[in-house]
Amino acid sequence: MLTLLRAWRERGWTPIDAPAYAQAWQEYGGSVATHPVVVERLAALAEIPVRYLGWFAGTRVLAAIPCWGPHLALSKAVLKRRGPRGRFDLGNAEVILPIAAETTVPVRHRMRYVSDLNAARISTLQPQREGLALARAPEDYSKKFRYNQRRELRLFLEAGGSVRPMLDFSPREQASIYADLFARRWGFAARGAQYLSEVFDLLRDFMTGSLLLRNDRPIAIQILYRVEAPEWISLEYINGGVDPQSGDLSPGSVLSFVNTQAAWQDARALGKPLRYSFGRADREYKDRWCHRVPVHQI
């Protein structure tokens, strides 16, 4: 029965190897959640092998998918069922599959938060009720909002605050800071706390952004991963933590301002659109920073 179901699900698709998938991603683009190195490294951490499929026209791959059984690779549902759910956290990441322009393919593997960029390229998508929150461009904020953010940053710096790149810190240091500030903010442990140092080491090539310190003590951190596709930049804000005792300085807001401004500057220097995702559009603060975009599911 399982063989028949897989044959139905994969009809029209052909198994390919990891290098062929990586080549498709580099040619057609994708997101953090589908980047070949991210998929390979996190799947190895979860100890779940990846099956890669390609859609061919002659000898050319026009579309590709990394799979865990009937699900997209790195699926939360698979992690939950097979045990190691807490080993890593990609939040509700935007899914962009590598598919050639002007190509439409049927995809039957289960996935959510599929980008609107894939809407015309996948024939089997259905609307998803939840949307994603993508960061607005700097000029899309009101003058008052931008003034307030610059003022908050100035007051933070005048109060002994400093901004340091995440990569100034080792994976072990990042893990310790994040675990501490997450627990302070939310009152419970971050998902996969015991694996954080290993995950941050595995994904260090993609980590970006800064953290905030006050008198050399960390008070705000955001976990951001960035990949560069041929036609856009994909950046995922996974989660963060702040010290509630520093609330008078609005460290979460200051760090969002610092990180989004830097990301837009980087993308525009490269001449590429930025898809800076705050994940599911489910919080009021995200509406201040983002606009809501539709997503799809299978």
pLDDT digits (tens, 9 = 90+) for 151-179: 999 999 999 999 999 999 999 999 999 99
| Cα distances (angstroms) measured from residue 211 to each of 46, 205, 217, 271 | 28, 17, 10, 26
Q: What is the pLDDT of residue 84?
A: 59
pTM of the predicted protein model: 0.96
pLDDT category, 4, cuts 50, 70, 90?
confident
Domains of the chain: 2-129 (no CATH), 133-293 (3.40.630.30)
pLDDT category, 2, cuts 50, 70, 90?
low
Query: CA-CA distance, 240 to 225, in Å (whole number)?
Result: 12
